[in-house]
Amino acid sequence: MFEALPTQTPDTPLLDQVKSPADLRAFSDRQLVQLAKEVRAWLLWSVSQTGGHFGAGLGVVELTIALHAALQTPEDRLIWDVGHQAYPHKILTGRKDALLSIRQKDGCAAFPKRDESVYDAFGVGHSSTSISAALGMAIAARAQGKKRRSVAVIGDGALTAGMAFEALTHAGHVQADMLVVLNDNEMSISENVGGLATYLSRLLVSEPFHQLREGSRKVLSHLPLAWELARKTEEQVKSLVSPGTLFEELGFNYVGPVDGHDLPELVSILRKLRHHTGPQFLHVITKKGKGFLPAEADPIGYHALTKLEKPAPTQVPVSKGPKYSNIFGQWLCDMAAADERLMGITPAMREGSDLVRFSERYPKRYFDVAIAEQHAVTLAAGMACEGLKPVVAIYSTFLQRAYDQLIHDVAVQKLDVLFAIDRAGLVGEDGPTHHGSLDVSFLRCVPEMLIMAPADEQECRQLLTTGYLYPGPAAVRYPRGCGPGVTVTDTLEPLPIGKAELRREGEGILVLALGSRVSVAAEAAEALNATLVNLRFVKPLDESLILELAAQHQLVVTVEENALAGGVGAAVLECLAAAGLTRPVLNLGLPDVFVDQGDHEQLLADHGLDGPGILASIQTRWNALIKGE
């Protein structure tokens, strides 16, 4: 997709001489260390121009270089978990200049993407998938008689997910030839990175030790008691200086912990591990934000960086008011003060879902379960069984990962759980893996669910209260960013369940809008003198109002920031069909494609969901209807 870099002279920076990872294999250790400095400098500069994920990439510069220098990529499969840390990988695989277009429309993707580069062995966006994917590739290599290696790079946060441990267990069981690299940027065990740990790591990957270990296994396998004694002795010695006993028990040969910023040492260990058979596990200690002091001091705040822009001298900052996530965060604190049964749950999204204040004010009622969406939902179900009132704060795209738990553990049992679904609709630069464009569709078919979408900030607060007080599973979906600017009061009053709001009365055209599209559709309704309804509720629909108004109008229009397939427009069609009411219907929403990355407003315009697009679509259909076409 992206062109290779032109050939450079020996006097140019090393980074400019890298046309592919194969070039790294001819570099000396000193050159690789210099290259790491240049990659880090380019990453710092380029992300400051574009914005994007920041701290994780800085922490794995040396690891990325070592992996490409030691492996035979792309023949060897290198799989990055999540992808936040993959910017250095993109730089070294022919996308250095393309990084300046990252997260932009038609530009470089925010995450590894298979159709972008042959070096992106697996597309990602959600976490904890790398070990499963690498295991599948290792099994495929075995079945095909290939000698290629599969390597999964996973962070300590992503390793908290159950899926990662399921894959580890299976890999140990089938004894696949693969390597798992744990990128550990936590400080809890960093003191283990020292002389003894380094010496042990060198010993564990040395050829004499490997031959001794495998030879002993073959000889002693006929003497079960002797082999078990030797195995336990080895484990006990390792456990004195490393935390790898768990991985050994799962069937992996554990090596580490290793200093993830000692580039020559990393290259040496990885080159040896590439030739070892069976499941291998390398534990690497890195520092998130390495090389940029503010990011090292505040790894959470510098997880991602917005584009650095200087405002024009005459530019006056405009307050956009609170974001929807801020509305939720304040509501959660207020409701917790009013009801001691409330419990807040998040799968590692404390900052993103604005749970910081709640976690500080109510630490015993706050539960961050790490990257474990399935566990988060069933944890809430267990709480609800005992009379508590759990609120699960979760992004739309991440709720997809807990769909079975939502159905099996919550909805089937009619349990009292509120889902506060953030980032509903298009989210912009992170692309198809992060757009929340499917939740209306996959929630609407679940029995017992109450599904709501606010048109503004005040309504968001009221619908959260409505869902909280509802005796069963309820969901409130709200978009990323700010609303239309409606003043928010401190009320905890609910809205009537299943009742839409008639916002404007007109003639000929009935516009039924949901959530974020209500205020935008209002512009079209005003221009066309159309009737406008704020649906508020996807399930149950306000069928009586819809049928009454549809009978009085010649054209029914639905507008939503969700997939048309199974969305609220489909629900309206079902309502009209069930009542035997025949009317021309125009459904406006997201098409049956995975929407790519780009600026949020531009993506809406591309799909006719901005103000001008909605007006043009309705006007075209209305004109055709008048002409009898």
Indicate which residues carry an active-site annotation: 288, 373, 401
- Crossing angle between the packed helical segments 518-528 and 611-626, to the nearest 10 degrees: 40
Residue in this structure with the two tokens 């994007």, named with its chain if needed: 52
Residues 6+ apart with CB under 8 A from 142: 176, 177
Is the sign of the CA dihedral 94, 96, 97, 100 positive or negative?
Answer: positive
375 near 369, Cβ under 8 Å? yes
| Two tokens, residue 20 | 């592919």
H helix count then E strand count, the chain = 25, 19
Rounded to whole angstroms, the Cα distance separating 201 from 179 reads: 15
47 touches 306 (CB < 8 A)? no
- Are 128 and 163 a contacting pair, CB within 8 Å? yes
Which residue has 């630490």 as its token pair?
Answer: 363
In eight-state DSSP terms, residue 242 is -
**Nearest-angstrom CA–CA distance, 165 and 259:** 24
For the chain, the distance separating the N- and C-terminal CA atoms, rounded to the nearest angstrom, is 43
SS3 184: strand
225 token code pair:
């008691």
Cis peptide leading into residue 313 (ω within 30°): no
> Which is it for the CA torsion 12, 16, 19, 20, positive or negative?
positive
Q: Give Dmax over CA atoms of the chain in angstroms.
A: 91
Rounded Cα gap, residues 257 and 238, in angstroms: 11
Q: Which residues contact 17 (CB under 8 A, 6 or more apart)?
A: 8, 10, 23
In this structure, the number of other CB atoms found within 10 A of the CB of residue 173 comes to 11
Distance, in Å, from the CA atom of 128 to the CA atom of 120, rounded to the nearest integer, reads 16
Rounded to whole angstroms, the Cα distance separating 23 from 42 reads: 18
**Helices (H), ranges, 425-486:** 439-444, 457-469
The gap from C-alpha 395 to its chain's centroid, in whole angstroms, comes to 9
Q: What is the spatial distance between Cα 90 and Cα 74, in angstroms, rounded to a whole number?
A: 13
Amino acid at 478: Y
The token pair that represents 298 in the structure block: 């505040």
Strands 509-513 and 555-563: parallel
Q: Residue 211 — φ and ψ, nearest 5°?
A: -65, -40
Q: Which residue has the tokens 């994917």?
A: 133
Residue 577 dihedral angles phi and psi, to the nearest 5°? -65, -40
Q: CB-based contacts of 98: which residues, under 8 Å, 6+ apart? A: 2, 90, 107, 108
- SS3 category, 352: coil
